[in-house]
């Protein structure tokens, strides 16, 4: 039982990171009906910006890991990536607003590859080491142990989710976002500036992805410019699992995926599935969902009108 | 008269919305029937359940004695039901010639193997098809534009091409969805002549959804009126024009349109 | 001229070049790579270009063909017929061709099994599903010890010659071009342009999509089999998402739906890494100074150049370089509204 709970904690902390990335996918899809293939690479950028920010800040102040350092790194990375996300949208996606989704999808693949291989060019192929930003310790309750890494993942994710819920439900921009996801034409007729809202959505999603990137780097400190590939695709699966376009769904999907993946590895003997199949878990879930309930767990099935 | 197409008590529900309610309709093999009603009455939905795009929630649809419900749209087309669309759906990257040629795939005697091997019988069938495509284009005056990209055609020509493509499938029933939309009066006159010509030459039944009363009253033998998914009246154009419920639901001022054409 | 004659000419030329033209190892490798890429690009074009279904898992089918045929020639055949000399001659050739066919058929079967459920999906969902399956195939191969898994797999004999490679390239072109240019083949284009309208004229869209998908998988399997008997070493990482994207780039750059275009793109993009390697040298010779280090570095980053190519192309000329010739693929331009035809009427 203890092992199960321990695995659960591990799985939830992984799932929290997936959830943060998945939220960006789902918000952009909700507003534009478009899968931003490059989102996983913003996650990667977040980790790298954090790495450089940490070097700079720690260098300036000669400080070691601390809460203050962690918060500063997070905020800097989130701000930078929010801007990057908005710039990408303006340059590569906005001009294609009236083109079929296929064209934009191909462009997104191009942006993704550009970020990955440009990253290799700019940062080097890696791996690069992300120095700790919080002091490490372990908490023990009974037979379970929770490390500071997991604590920071849970607390940051919790705070960000609360903030996101507030933004989406209580602010004008958030409400505009929801309006756009239902009916862009009506939204603009109501006086909403669609372009601004779309930019905002990209910025918000990118900030969350950046936070996810930092949290990932805290857990797995060796990062490369290609680090966004797998988590990006898996987070997308999580978003589809929860119901693409549905914000609580993305969070739920992320958690489910993280837990499932961890349990498959943790119980690989029992399940007779070699741990090296863990990456396939996400894809199998994807296929199953697409075949049986493409609208996801929390999504609504909409029939197309002809 | 044996009916060619028979809908009986067809209901179509989309979640909470009832688009059609217990609709019954009969069309004989040589009929020209019009389907009218206010926007949202369910007219295109009728087309969609006949052609298999939607499956009716309940009710039966018989065509030539066989049920259409639950069949794939392409299978229904293969049985002889052809249609045009409200917003013209031509194959945008294909030429006029190829748009019509695509309609012949249904009746091909050979399949992939022949297309690859390209033996004698393949060549013969291809040139037969080619002749038939040219013939039908000639009949409808589109032959000299055969290699033109269909997007470059005039609006009226595009509508005509869509009808030609539908006819190329050798249907027994032709469904026309608002063919007069966006046309000027002269084009509408030509359209009315075209529909009557098609019906006579190909000996088919035609079911027509239209908003333009002049067109409907001008050529239809019978008119059915839908409102909120229910059939509220059916009869000759003259009867419909006088029907108080219809006038109330829809016709209003247009009831004073031109007298109906003599029955064909 | 009848297409069959073109095909026979192609085969003849391949034979003559293989037999008579001496080539050093380096050039030979480039020529073989071009041939394999032509097969991949033309076959993918059938699905992505002619039928308008966006599949980005092509590498998975290539992998199946590569690994299965390699297993047959390296492990299977020596076990079944231990006394045969498989290094060349008639026996070797027959085993090779048999293995090639077997690999392609297995790939085609995978195409059928994968295609039937996923071709129901549209647009981006289809893309992600094919991506997912491509990755699943790769992970499965990675975990299959019999073919070396992540340690790699050495293939016994290098049967793939210029003759065989280009014979199959000619065959691929013949099949795809002939299929599409027949009355039957217009069905593929109809499915691409407007599925609802295609169904209304009796075109069974699912059947056409699956046929395109299975055929494409078959030829990807052939390409894989040729690849494995050319490089003589296989590793699952060679068949990942990036490889699929490289083929997709060829199809997009060449022009979706233009067979000629994708062949040209396959040739150009296969030569690109070599050309990029020469640019610094040319520059040096012409201008006397070497390129700034940054530019030199950038030129070596082929994927970055591909990605910029994709972005710029989509923004300016999404139909690719040659896509405008045989009809502009409207499906890349016209925004089809999800709420297609007339609303309630």
In angstroms, what separates the C-alpha of B53 from chain A's closest C-alpha? 8
CB C177 within 8 A of CB C48: no
pLDDT at A63: 66
B243-258: average pLDDT = 66
pLDDT at C284: 79
Q: Which residue has the tokens 């034979």?
A: C15
Residues of C in contact with B131 (CB under 8 A): none
More confident residue, C3 or B213: B213
In this complex, is the C-beta atom of B221 within 8 Å of any C-beta atom belonging to chain C? Answer: no
Write the residue in C297, C311, C331 that is nearest to A102 by C-beta: C331
Residues of A in contact with C148 (CB under 8 A): none
A12-to-A296, B169, C80, C102 alpha-carbon distances in Å: 20, 58, 51, 45
Complete DSSP assignment for B47-72: HHHHTTSS--SEEEEEETTEE-TT--
Residues of A in contact with B48 (CB under 8 A): 306
Determine, for residues C199 and B72 on separate chains, whether the beta-carbon distance falls below 8 Å. yes
Q: Is pLDDT at C342 greater than 50 in this prediction? A: no
**Sign of the torsion angle spanned by Cα atoms C161, C167, C168, C173:** positive
In this complex, is the C-beta atom of A71 within 8 Å of any C-beta atom belonging to chain C? Answer: no
In this complex, is the C-beta atom of C332 within 8 Å of any C-beta atom belonging to chain A? Answer: yes
The distance from CA A14 to its chain's CA centroid, rounded to whole angstroms, is 11
Question: Could you tell me which residues come within 8 angstroms of residue A125 by beta carbon, excluding any fewer than 6 positions away?
Answer: A224, A225
pLDDT at C343: 30
Residues of C in contact with B104 (CB under 8 A): 183
A285 closest CA partner among A22, A35, A40: A22
User: The tokens of B211 are what?
Assistant: 């908003």
Please report the number of interchain residue pairs, chain A to chain C, with beta-carbon separation below 8 angstroms: 137
A269-296: average pLDDT = 82
Q: Which chain A residue has its CA at the smallest distance from C303's CA?
A: A117
Determine, for residues A306 and B48 on separate chains, whether the beta-carbon distance falls below 8 Å. yes
In this complex, is the C-beta atom of B145 within 8 Å of any C-beta atom belonging to chain C? Answer: no
C188-202: average pLDDT = 93
A57 closest CA partner among A45, A75, A66, A69: A69
C310 closest CA partner among C246, C266, C229: C246
Report the percent of chain A where pLDDT is more than 90. 43
Q: What is the pLDDT of residues A137-169, one digit of tens each?
A: 888 877 778 888 888 899 999 999 999 999 989
Q: What's the pLDDT band for C297 if we cut at 50, 70, 90?
A: confident
Q: Which chain B residue has its CA at the smallest distance from C178's CA?
A: B116
Q: Which residue has the tokens 């894809």?
A: A283
CB crowding B96-133: b at 16 or more within 10 Å, else e:
bbbbbbbbbbbebebeeebbbebeeebeebbeebeebb
Spatial strand order in the sheet of B58-63: B17-27, B5-14, B58-63, B66-67
User: The tokens of B2 are what?
Assistant: 């044996």
**Sign of the torsion angle spanned by Cα atoms B217, B220, B225, B229:** negative
Q: What is the pLDDT of residues A82-124, one digit of tens each?
A: 999 999 999 999 998 888 777 888 899 899 999 999 998 888 8
More confident residue, A62 or B200: B200
Residues of A in contact with C307 (CB under 8 A): 109-114, 117-118
For this complex, say whether ipTM is above 0.85. yes
Q: Which chain A residue has its CA at the smallest distance from B19's CA?
A: A305
Q: What's the pLDDT band for C335 if we cut at 50, 70, 90?
A: very low
Where in chain C does DSSP place strands (E)? 153-154, 233-234
User: The tokens of B51 are what?
Assistant: 């052609």
Determine, for residues C139 and A280 on separate chains, whether the beta-carbon distance falls below 8 Å. yes
Determine, for residues A306 and B14 on separate chains, whether the beta-carbon distance falls below 8 Å. no
Average pLDDT of chain A to the nearest whole number: 87
What's the N-to-C CA distance of chain B in angstroms?
A: 16
CB C116 within 8 A of CB C214: no
CB C181 within 8 A of CB C264: no
Write the residue in C124, C307, C336 that is nearest to A105 by C-beta: C124
- The CA-based angle B244-B247-B253, given to 5 degrees, is 135
CB B168 within 8 A of CB B104: yes
Burial degree of A203 (CB within 10 A; 0-12, 13-18, 19+)? buried
Q: Is pLDDT at C340 greater than 50 in this prediction? A: no
In angstroms, what separates the C-alpha of A75 from chain C's closest C-alpha? 29
Report the percent of chain B where pLDDT is more than 70. 93
C2 closest CA partner among A274, B117, B16: B117
**CB atoms near residue A67 (< 10 Å):** 11
Work out whether strand A128-129 and strand B32-36 pair parallel, antiparallel, or are unpaired.
unpaired
Please state, in angstroms and rounded to a whole number, the distance separating the CA atoms of residues B228 and B20: 7
Task: List the subunits that have 3+ CB pairs under 8 angstroms with B.
Answer: A, C
Determine, for residues B115 and C328 on separate chains, whether the beta-carbon distance falls below 8 Å. no
In angstroms, what separates the C-alpha of B32 from chain A's closest C-alpha? 24
Residues of A in contact with B14 (CB under 8 A): 303, 305
**CB atoms near residue A56 (< 10 Å):** 12
Determine, for residues B86 and C202 on separate chains, whether the beta-carbon distance falls below 8 Å. no
User: The tokens of B181 are what?
Assistant: 């939309």
Interface-testing mutation among A113, A277, A286, with chain C (most C C-beta atoms within 10 A): A113
Q: Which helix (H) or strand (E) holds B20?
A: strand B17-27
Please state, in angstroms and rounded to a whole number, the distance separating the CA atoms of residues A296 and A239: 8
* Chain C residues within 8 Å of chain B (Cβ atoms): 2-4, 174-175, 178-179, 182-187, 189-190, 192-194, 196-205, 211, 257, 327-331, 334, 340-345
Q: What is the pLDDT of residues A23-52, one digit of tens each?
A: 999 999 888 888 898 999 999 999 999 999
Question: Could you tell me which residues come within 8 angstroms of residue A43 by beta carbon, excluding any fewer than 6 positions away?
Answer: A21, A209, A210, A212, A213, A216, A227, A228, A231, A232, A235
């Amino acid at each position: 039982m203890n092992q199960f709970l321990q695995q659960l904690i591990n799985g939830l902390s992984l799932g929290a990171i997936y959830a943060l990335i998945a939220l960006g996918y789902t918000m952009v899809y909700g507003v534009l009906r478009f899968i931003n293939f490059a989102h996983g690479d913003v996650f990667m950028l977040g980790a790298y910006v954090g790495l450089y920010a940490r070097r700079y800040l720690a260098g300036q102040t000669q400080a070691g890991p601390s809460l203050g350092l962690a918060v500063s790194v997070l905020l800097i990375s989130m701000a930078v990536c929010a801007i990057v996300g908005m710039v990408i949208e303006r340059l590569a996606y906005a001009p294609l607003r009236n083109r079929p989704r296929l064209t934009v999808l191909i462009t997104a693949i191009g942006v993704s590859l550009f970020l990955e291989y440009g990253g290799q060019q700019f940062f080097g192929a890696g791996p690069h080491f992300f120095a700790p930003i919080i002091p490490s310790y372990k908490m023990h309750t009974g037979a379970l142990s929770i490390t500071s890494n997991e604590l920071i993942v849970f607390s940051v994710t919790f705070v960000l989710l609360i903030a996101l819920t507030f933004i989406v439900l209580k602010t004008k921009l958030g409400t505009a976002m929801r309006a756009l996801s239902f009916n862009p034409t009506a939204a603009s007729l109501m006086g909403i500036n669609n372009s601004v809202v779309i930019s905002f959505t990209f910025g918000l999603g990118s900030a969350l992805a950046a936070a996810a990137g930092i949290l990932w780097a805290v857990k797995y400190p060796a990062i490369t410019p290609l680090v966004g590939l797998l988590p990006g695709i898996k987070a997308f699966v999580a978003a589809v699992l929860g119901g693409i376009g549905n914000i609580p769904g993305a969070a739920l999907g992320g958690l489910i995926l993280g837990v499932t993946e961890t349990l498959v590895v943790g119980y690989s003997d029992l399940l007779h599935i070699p741990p090296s199949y863990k990456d396939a878990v996400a894809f199998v879930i994807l296929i199953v969902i697409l075949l049986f309930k493409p609208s996801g767990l929390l999504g609504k099935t909409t029939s197309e009108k002809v | 008269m044996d009916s060619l197409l028979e809908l009986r008590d067809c209901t179509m529900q989309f979640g909470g919305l009832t688009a059609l309610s217990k609709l019954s309709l009969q069309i004989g093999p040589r009929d020209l029937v019009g389907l009218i009603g206010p926007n949202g009455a369910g007219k295109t939905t009728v087309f969609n359940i006949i052609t298999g795009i939607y499956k009716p929630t309940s009710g039966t649809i018989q065509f030539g004695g066989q049920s259409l419900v639950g069949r794939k749209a392409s299978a229904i087309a293969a049985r002889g039901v052809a249609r045009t669309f409200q917003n013209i759906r031509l194959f945008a990257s294909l030429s006029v010639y190829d748009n019509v040629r695509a309609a012949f795939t249904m009746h091909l005697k050979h399949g992939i193997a022949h297309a690859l091997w390209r033996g004698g019988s393949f060549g013969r069938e291809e040139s037969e098809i080619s002749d038939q495509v040219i013939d039908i284009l000639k009949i409808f005056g589109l032959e000299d534009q055969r290699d033109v990209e269909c997007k470059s055609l005039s609006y009226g020509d595009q509508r005509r091409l869509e009808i030609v493509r539908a006819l190329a499938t050798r249907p027994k029933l032709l469904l026309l969805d608002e063919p007069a939309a966006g046309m000027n009066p002269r084009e509408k006159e030509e359209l009315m002549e075209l529909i009557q010509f098609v019906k006579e030459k190909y000996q088919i039944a035609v079911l027509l959804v239209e908003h333009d009363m002049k067109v409907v009253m001008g050529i239809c033998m019978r008119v059915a009126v839908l409102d909120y998914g229910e059939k509220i009246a059916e009869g000759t154009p003259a009867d419909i024009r006088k029907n108080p419920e219809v006038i109330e639901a829809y016709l209003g001022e247009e009831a004073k349109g031109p007298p109906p054409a003599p029955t064909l | 001229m009848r297409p069959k004659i073109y095909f026979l000419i192609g085969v003849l030329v391949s034979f003559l070049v293989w037999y008579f033209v001496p080539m050093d190892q380096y050039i030979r490798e480039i020529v073989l790579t071009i041939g394999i890429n032509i097969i991949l690009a033309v076959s993918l074009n059938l699905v992505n270009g002619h039928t308008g279904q966006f599949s980005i898992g092509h590498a998975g089918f290539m992998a199946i063909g590569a690994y299965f045929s390699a297993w047959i020639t390296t492990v299977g055949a020596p076990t079944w017929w231990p006394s045969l000399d498989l290094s060349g001659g008639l026996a070797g050739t027959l085993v090779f061709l048999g293995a090639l066919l077997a690999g392609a058929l297995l790939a085609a079967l995978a195409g059928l099994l994968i295609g039937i459920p996923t071709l129901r999906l549209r647009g981006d969902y289809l893309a992600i599903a094919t991506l997912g399956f491509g990755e699943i195939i790769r992970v499965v191969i990675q975990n299959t010890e019999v073919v070396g898994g992540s340690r790699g797999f050495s293939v016994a004999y290098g049967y793939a010659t210029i003759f065989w490679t280009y014979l199959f390239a000619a065959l691929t072109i013949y099949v795809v071009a002939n299929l599409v240019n027949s009355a039957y083949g217009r069905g593929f284009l109809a499915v691409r342009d407007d599925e609802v309208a295609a169904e209304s004229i009796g075109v069974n869209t699912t059947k056409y999509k699956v046929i395109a998908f299975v055929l494409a998988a078959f030829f990807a399997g052939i390409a894989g089999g040729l690849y494995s008997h050319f490089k003589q070493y296989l590793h699952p990482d060679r068949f990942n998402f990036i490889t699929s994207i490289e083929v997709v780039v060829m199809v997009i750059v060449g022009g979706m739906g233009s067979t000629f275009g994708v062949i040209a793109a396959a040739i150009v993009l296969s030569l690109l890494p070599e050309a990029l390697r020469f640019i610094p040298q040319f520059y040096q010779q012409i201008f006397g100074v070497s390129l700034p280090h940054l530019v030199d570095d950038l030129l070596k980053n082929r994927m970055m150049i591909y990605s910029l190519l994709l972005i710029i192309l989509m923004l300016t000329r999404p139909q690719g370089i040659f896509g405008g010739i045989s009809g502009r693929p409207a499906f890349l331009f016209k925004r089809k509204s999800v709420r297609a035809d007339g609303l309630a009427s």
